Each structure stands twice: as structure tokens, then as C-alpha cells.
Amino acid sequence: MKEIVILSGKGGTGKTTITASFCAYLKNKVIGDCDVDAPDLHLLLSPEIKEKKDFFGGAEVKIKQDECIKCGTCLRLCRFGAIQFIKNEKFVIDDFLCEGCGLCYHACPVNAIEMKEKKAGELYISETKYGNFIHAQLFPGEENSGKLAAEVKEKAREIAVKEKIPFIIIDGPPGIGCPVISTLSGANISVIVSEPTVSGISDFERIVELAEFFKVKIKVIINKYDINLKKTEEIEKFCFEKKIEVIGKIPFLPEVVEALKESKIVLEFSRKISSLLEEIFEKIVE
């Protein structure tokens, strides 16, 4: 079983668009979307949800007012300023500031503080015409996106092993944060999609450094390469010095925009770009 992760240092490089086309090209695979904060691969794959699971990513902390003796221990110990003494009458916890660390829960002398698991998102097991699809949604303002991304990968691997499917394709989140680290963990190859802009190059170099740290093989696709040929040359030079293969350069094409406006996969929408994408995907599989 081979795990292929498609990443980008920043949003808007075309990573998900390329991932969706790869899903249409490669047969017999499990698909995962680890961009749990802002998932959008489902917009192109049109999945039919078969199973939904609640995700508990943290703790909800409450003070039981009828048992609180107002000793102030929790207020003194909370380093996040999440506990307040309201109108000299009662202690309350600000859910927005609380990190769920549990210190107040363990320190309370009369056990007047309770901690309960908090539903922070949902994980979906779906079917598409391109294969099994595992995706998730973290609720706005919730944390532990790295943990939820790890659960997406775990479920994708479980299905791949059970059904003896040889490939897993993961659409990773942008950036270099916790969910990206979870997505890279255990991958065989990372395909990094870059764009020839100042911010694109800066963030591209950071994601390359992260993939190198985890010793994951790297391949690079330069998307919209013809919007700034000088910056494209900078990316190619950087890859040459790092001994990283650039497996393809995709021009900016209006057909791609038209495909996305219709929620269509580019590989199936435009003959002009399909042959180019197929050559790139073949290099990934090899």
C-alpha cells in the first residue's frame, strides 16, 4: 500500500484541483481529505455519505455552582485567564479562553469542577464514483485539527488494508501546521504544488523543509507557471539545488476556471490539459 500526499505551502495554489484530477486518473485507491478546517475536495467529488462519526477534540469545563465554596484556587492557578469572579458572587469559566488543560479540575478541593468531552467536528465515510472517500469537518472555532486529520488517515488506511487497495491519495491542508504534520506522518511520497509568486515561493520552501524533516520523498508541480516565468525559474533552481524532481509545469488556462465554476474535475472537462495531467500523474505512480 502506497500513500501519496498532495500538499502546498499556502492556499490557492491549485492543490485540490490537481488532487481531484489525480483521483479521476488513478484506479483502485482510497481518497482522503485532511484539510479538516476548510475541506473542499467534496465539492468536486460529489460524495454520497454512508457513515458519520462524531469527533471529540477537547474538553468542556464547567463549575458546579451549588458545590463551589468560592475558595479562588481555580482563579489563582489558571494561566489562561479563563476563570472570572463575576459580581463577587460566583466563579465562571470563559469557554473561549479555556484550553481544557484540566488543572482547575484536579486542583479544586471540593471537586466542584467537571470536565466533559466536547464534540468538535464530524468525520464522514463516503462513496464516490472514483472510490471510497474519507473526509471531515472541524466546527468553527474548535481545535485539534491535527488529531482529526490523523483520524481521517487512520480510517483511510483501515479501509485500504481491509479491501486490499494499493493506493491512498490524501489532499492535505495548506501551510506547515499541526494538520500538515499529521498528514505527512507515514506517507510514502509528498507531491508539493507551488505557484510562481513571492508568497508562493516563500511558503513552498517551508513545506519542503518540513517534508525533508520527516524524510518523505518529494516531487514538485509548478501550477500556473507562465504567470511569472522569472519566479518559475527560481522554483526550478531551488529544486535543482535540493535535488528535487519537478515532475510537471501546468500553464494558467481559462478552461480550469470554467471547470471549477461548474464543479467539474479538470481532467474530465478539458482535453487540452488532460494529456499534460496524465503525464504528471504517471510520474507520481512510477
Q: Is 16 left (phi over 0), alpha (psi -120 to 50) or beta?
A: alpha
Q: What confidence score (pLDDT) does residue 87 get?
A: 80
Domain boundaries 65-111, corresponding CATH code: 3.30.70.20
From residue 28, give the alpha-carbon distance in Å to each of 155, 166, 168, 266, 277.
16, 7, 9, 20, 18
Q: What confidence score (pLDDT) does residue 117 get?
A: 86
269-275 long-range contacts (CB < 8 A, ≥24 apart) are none
Residues 122-132 pLDDT 10s: 999 999 999 99
Asked if residue 30 lies in contact with residue 117, where contact means CB atoms within 8 angstroms, the answer is no
> Which residues of the chain fall below pLDDT 50?
none
Same fold, 2-56+121-285 and 65-111: no
What pTM, to 2 d.p., does this model score?
0.86
Q: Where are the domains of the chain?
A: 2-56+121-285, 65-111
- DSSP reduced 3-state for 88: coil
Q: What confidence score (pLDDT) does residue 11 get?
A: 87
The architecture of the domain spanning 2-56+121-285 is 3-Layer(aba) Sandwich (3.40)
